[in-house]
């Protein structure tokens, strides 16, 4: 991370009225939430991750599914994590008058907790679960209180409001539209390995939207980005904020 790269990105953000922000798991690791792709749990013993949290497994054995699901996502800890400086920076961009749309792959709700008002949860949320039979929605406290949560209305096993493997990603067309119509796109903490979300920066650049990537490691799509900063998100965003404040001060 150089002063030049920070200032160049700060200038881009200052010049942009509509900012689309795509965030991945690396956005929340600084809040203490592990990237489940590198975690060890029940699914490594007898099945792949994709099998353990798939819609097919939920339908086949919803009770066993919930055991795996709660282990993988440390469901008992959900709600105790706090937004970090990266989340705060995105919310701050709204405070200074930018039109910010957050397109997040994360399911932890930390963007909303930080104050972002326009958040598109591409992979759903851990904070609620719904009944496949009657549609009743159940909150996090209810989910935590039951090893296998059943609908309080009709007693069916409820399904987490997370996009499981084998399910379509909702809002993807809207997300593409937001990215392609923005003045700039920032990608924070995503490996850009998961489809169809990884097509968002491709579509943006094809529509001449300047794109920036902040990620600790490289991605297969690095070539797309006009600005790329290989560093931690929190400190980078704090430095960006300082650069923007100095430029407008």
Task: Note if 123 is an active site residue.
Answer: yes
Residues pairing with 186 in the sheet: 21, 212
Residues in CB range of 157: below 8 A, 6 or more apart:
62, 63, 66, 148, 149, 150, 151
* Residue 216 and residue 26 in contact, taking contact as beta carbons nearer than 8 Å: yes
Structure tokens at 189: 């903490």
Give dist(CA 1, CA 6) in Å, integer.
7
Beta strands in 46-158, from DSSP E residues, in sequence order: 99-104, 119-121, 124-130, 137-139
* Residue 22 and residue 103 in contact, taking contact as beta carbons nearer than 8 Å: yes
Give dist(CA 93, CA 86) in Å, integer.
11
* Residue 41 and residue 72 in contact, taking contact as beta carbons nearer than 8 Å: yes
Give dist(CA 199, CA 39) in Å, integer.
26
Structure tokens at 12: 């881009």
As a residue count, the chain comes to 249
* Residue 203 and residue 182 in contact, taking contact as beta carbons nearer than 8 Å: no
Catalytic residue, from 123, 138, 146, 152: name it.
123
Give dist(CA 183, CA 93) in Å, integer.
14
Q: Give catalytic residue positions.
A: 123
């Amino acid at each position: 991370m150089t002063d030049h790269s920070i200032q160049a990105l700060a200038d881009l953000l200052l010049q942009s009225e509509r900012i689309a922000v795509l965030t991945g798991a690396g956005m929340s690791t600084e809040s203490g939430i592990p990237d489940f792709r590198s975690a060890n749990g029940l699914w490594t013993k007898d099945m792949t991750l994709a099998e353990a949290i798939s819609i097919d497994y939920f339908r086949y054995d919803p009770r066993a599914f919930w055991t795996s699901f709660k282990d993988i996502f440390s469901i008992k800890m959900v709600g105790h994590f706090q937004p970090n400086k990266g989340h705060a920076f995105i919310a701050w961009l709204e405070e200074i008058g930018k039109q910010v749309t957050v397109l997040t792959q994360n399911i932890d709700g930390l963007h909303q907790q930080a104050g972002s008002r326009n958040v598109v949860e591409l992979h759903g949320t851990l904070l609620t679960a719904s009944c496949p039979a009657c549609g009743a929605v159940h909150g996090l406290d209810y989910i935590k209180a039951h090893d296998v949560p059943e609908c309080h209305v009709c007693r069916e096993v409820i399904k987490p409001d997370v996009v499981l493997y084998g399910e379509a990603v909702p809002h993807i067309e809207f997300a593409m539209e937001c990215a392609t119509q923005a003045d700039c796109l920032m990608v924070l903490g995503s490996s850009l390995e998961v489809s169809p979300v990884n097509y968002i920066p491709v579509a943006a650049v094809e529509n001449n939207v300047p794109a920036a990537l902040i990620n600790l490691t490289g991605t297969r799509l690095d070539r797309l980005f006009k600005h790329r900063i290989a560093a931690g998100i929190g400190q980078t965003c704090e430095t960006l904020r300082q650069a923007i404040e100095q430029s407008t001060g």
